[in-house]
Chains A and B, each alone.
Chain A
Amino acid sequence: GEDVEQSLFLSVREGDSSVINCTYTDSSSTYLYWYKQEPGAGLQLLTYIFSNMDMKQDQRLTVLLNKKDKHLSLRIADTQTGDSAIYFCAETNQGGKLIFGQGTELSVKP
């Protein structure tokens, strides 16, 4: 079945880069996503990548996909205190069902 795994916590200093990692098991994944959830708020789509791409960059965000190893990462450059949140990796296959990881809590210290 489908499974998505993430480390639970990451702590960085303001101005550093953050790298949040995710692994998935479904080899038929078509799209992979990163969502952000701030305290008490809903889920915000940050970015997504199609499975035939290796990399996608969007301003401070860089997504890297290693399809062979089923590994996805989100790099946030120049991390700010406002980036503190829970980041969810998610994948979908041809069936369209969206499966989420447990979320990584990013803590940015000034």
Chain B
Amino acid sequence: GAGVSQSPSNKVTEKGKDVELRCDPISGHTALYWYRQSLGQGLEFLIYFQGNSAPDKSGLPSDRFSAERTGGSVSTLTIQRTQQEDSAVYLCASSLLGGYGNTIYFGEGSWLTVV
């Protein structure tokens, strides 16, 4: 597709269950980012993939969160044993190269609600 695609767009899950959120970046983009936006809050950096480099995982809030990027394209963010405080919009973004003034394109987000 033409833009960054995320799925599911909405997910309601029970506390304690695992969830997987998927991101399809724009074809050819080497940089991929995951952010979290809680209700009324700013954008919290989670993880950043750049080409074949080791990802920057410094923003992952706990070891229940992990992400991978297969073949330099699709990325999956996994949240294990979900908690209510994990409820947020999870935004994926990609750019041709990391930062450096390249336009960074955001997906529409995956709205996660943990009940």
Contacts and interface: CB of A to CB of B under 8 A. Distances in A.
A50 B99 CA distance: 11
Interface residues of A, number: 21
A95 B58 CA distance: 13
Given A42-B91, A42-B106, A42-B108, A92 B100 contact: yes
B104 A88 contact: no
A60 interface: no
Contacts of B106: 42-43
Q: Which of B41, B43, B101 has the most CB of A within 10 A?
A: B43
Interface in A29-43: 30-31, 33, 42-43
A73 B31 CA distance: 27
Contact of A30 (B35, B48, B93, B99): B99
A64 interface: no
A103 to B, nearest CB: 5
Nearest to A1: B58
Secondary structure call for the A interface: strand
B97 interface: yes
Contacts of B50: 95-96
Nearest to A96: B98
B99 A45 contact: no
B45 A30 contact: no
Which 6 pairs of residues, A with B, have the shortest CB-CB distance? Answer: A96-B98, A92-B99, A102-B42, A100-B43, A96-B99, A43-B106
Interface of B: 31, 33, 35, 41-43, 45, 48, 50, 56, 91, 93, 97-101, 103-104, 106-109
